[in-house]
Amino acid sequence: MKKRVLLFSAAAVLCILAGLTAYHCSFPLDADRNGLEPAALQWFNRGRSVPYEADRLQLYQSVTVGSRTYVPLELDGRLGYLCLSRGFTGRYKFDHSGRGTGSFRNGVVESDGVRALLFLGRNGDGRIARAVFSPEGGGPYELDIPASPVFLVSAPVDDTVSTGPISIEEITFYDSQGRDITESFDLSGGTIQ
C-alpha cells in the first residue's frame, strides 16, 4: 500500500513539474523581453520560403495595456505591431501581430479590464502634433503625437466605447499651431486588436 502511495505521489509531482515546464517554455521571452528582436524575426519568418533578414526589422517603443504589450515595428518597409501576452510568471509570449500597407493603424483594445485607444503611425517629419479621436459612444480623445519615424501612443477610454477600430472619419490631425491638417494625409491603414 505504501508503495502505491509513493508511486502515485511521485507521478503527481512529475506531472506538476512537466506542466510547469511546459507553461514556462510557452512564454519564451523573459520579463525584460531580452531577445525580442530575433524572436520577432523568427515569428514573422514562420512558413516563409525566403526569410526576412534582420536588417529589415526595426522595433520601436512599446505600450502596455493590462497584460498585453504592443510593440510597433517596421518590417520590410511596412508598418505593423506585435502583441505580447504576459504570463503569471512575468514572462512573455507572442499573442498576435499585424502589418501592412498604409501609414496609420488604430483600435480600442481591452486587457484585464483595462481599455485603451491605441494609435500607431508614421510622423518622421513631425507635421502632426496632435490627433483627436471622436468615436461613437465617447470622447473626444486627444493624443500628443511625437515626431518619430514610427510611433505608438495610447489613451484610456470609457467603457462606453466599443473595442475595435475607429473609423477614419472620426480622426482629426492638428499641427503645432492648432490647424486642422487632416486633409493632407492619406489615412489608409489597418487596425490594432
User: In the beta sheet, which residues pair with residue 193?
Assistant: none
- pLDDT for position 33: 86
* Type of residue numbered 101: T
Residue 14 has a pLDDT of: 59
pTM: 0.85
Which cell numbers hold the place of 173? 490631425
Q: What's the grid cell of residue 31?
A: 520579463
How far are the Cα atoms of 6, 9, 12, 127 from residue 2, in angstroms, in the given order? 6, 10, 15, 76
| Composition of the chain by helix, strand, coil, percent to 5 | 20, 40, 40
What are the extents of the domains in the chain?
Answer: 1-99, 102-187
Compute φ and ψ for 12, nearest 5 degrees.
-65, -45
Q: What is the mean pLDDT of each run of 10 residues along the chain (193 residues)?
A: 66 56 61 90 91 92 96 95 92 93 92 95 94 85 94 93 87 94 88 91
pLDDT of residue 24: 47
Give the pLDDT score at 21: 52
Query: Would you tell me how many other CB atoms lie within 10 Å of the CB of residue 117?
Result: 24
Count Cα neighbours of 187 within 13 Å in the Cβ-side half-sphere.
Answer: 18
Instruction: Return the CATH fold of 102-187.
Output: Immunoglobulin-like (2.60.40)
What is the C-alpha separation between 31 and 84, in angstroms, rounded? 11
